[in-house]
Amino acid sequence: MTDTKSSRETKHEALLIIDLQNDFCPGGSLAVSEGDMIIPVVNEVAAKFGIVVATKDWHPQAHVSFASRHGKEPFDSIELEYGKQVLWPDHCIQGEAGASFHPELDQRPLTMVLHKGTSRELDSYSAFLENDHATPTGLDGYLRTHGITRVFICGLATDVCVKFSALDAVQYGLETYLIEDACRGVNVPEGSVDSALHEMTEAGVRCIGSSELRHRSRGSY
């Protein structure tokens, strides 16, 4: 029997690929160690889903999260109206090469590209909500339109945008899985990846390996 894409698709499930962009991969301005090493795994997994959403950080110049704007050092933090803001090197600036998807990411399975962090005065880690925890990105509405009740999450970085996306997915009532070997973390400060995994697990996120999806069938989770 031929294993066609249609036979592999499972209704009510979606894959979220978080921020697989040049600036977060080796050579980028905010590189995650071995960030590019997950791409073959992500490509393999993405081919198994009918709904695949990929997010992009898409910041304007002088974004509020950039340390350079405030005369601070990267990884310092400041207090803003919406709470603590970690400051980062300039990254993923709209239209620049660093904001593009990594060239090895297979974009053919993508059904939606979601841009986040587009407001100069508001950062966004989660694929669902901006950092004020009130402004939606539109992802929840898109998933509901397609009847999605279960999401699988991969990408960069485990302890930042992946974590916040997974936690918000749970809050939106979605059955949520983290594909652990298809993620990498910043791990600043040291131990933050382990802390993020613990926090996600405590919130109800299930951590799995990509091998568990190779022969997946509906209702197997």
Q: Is 116 a known active-site residue?
A: yes
Of 25, 92, 161, 183, which residue is the catalytic one? 161
Of 23, 36, 48, 116, which residue is the catalytic one? 116
How much is the pTM? 0.92
Q: Is 154 a known active-site residue?
A: no
- Indicate the pLDDT class of residue 220, thresholds 50, 70 and 90: very low
Domain ranges of the chain: 5-61+95-213
Torsion of CA 36, 39, 42, 47, to 10 degrees: 160
- Encode pLDDT of 28-37 as tens digits: 999 999 999 9
Q: Is 161 a known active-site residue?
A: yes
Of 19, 23, 36, 168, which residue is the catalytic one? 19
- Encode pLDDT of 78-105 as tens digits: 999 999 999 999 999 999 999 999 999 9
- Encode pLDDT of 149-196 as tens digits: 999 999 999 999 999 999 999 999 999 999 999 999 998 889 999 999
**What pLDDT is recorded for position 189?**
87
Homologous superfamily of the 5-61+95-213 domain (CATH): Isochorismatase-like (3.40.50.850)
Whether the per-residue pLDDT at 208 is higher than 80: the answer is: yes
Backbone angles phi, psi at 139, to 5 degrees: -65, -45
Whether the per-residue pLDDT at 135 is higher than 60: the answer is: yes
